[in-house]
Amino acid sequence: MAQPHEDFYEVELAVEPAPGTLPIAATVKAGEATDLLTGELDHHDEDAEHADRTRSWPRYAAWAAGLVAAFATLFTLGRRMASSRSRCTGGAA
């Protein structure tokens, strides 16, 4: 049963619902008028969401290390190619 408060009603569930989207329906009666209100409650486990966010940093670190290694390799190859070209220029007259 809903417990009335100043400007809202509170319903306490006997058991905590499983994480996910839960359908909600409420019948509101005011005098002769009756209305049915429907909606959804988006209930998720906060600890699981926090664990997903904290586990993502090693993936970013691995990508960053890979990019640094790729740029270092390209830089080294470019320097070697440039130095080998300068040694080959100029021929015997």
Mean pLDDT, range 70-93, rounded to an integer: 75
Q: Is the pTM of this model over 0.85?
A: no
* Same domain for 60 and 42: no
* Same domain for 62 and 29: no
Q: Could you list the residue range(s) of the whole structural domain that residue 72 is in?
A: 56-87
pLDDT-above-70 percentage for the chain: 80
pLDDT-above-90 percentage for the chain: 9
Residue 84 has pLDDT above 80, yes or no: no
Residue 40 lies in a domain: yes
* Same domain for 63 and 40: no
Mean pLDDT, range 64-77, rounded to an integer: 89
Residue 92 lies in a domain: no
- Which among 19, 2, 22 is positioned nearest to 11, based on CA atoms? 2
In the block, residue with structure tokens 């670190």: 61
* Same domain for 60 and 29: no
CA distance 40 to 50: 23
pLDDT at 69: 92
Q: What are the backbone dihedrals phi and psi of residue 6, each rounded to the nearest 5 degrees, phi first?
A: -55, -60
* Same domain for 69 and 38: no
What stretch of H or E contains 38?
strand 33-43
Name the packing angle between helices 57-88 and 46-55 (round to 10°). Answer: 10
Contact 2, 29 (CB under 8 A): no
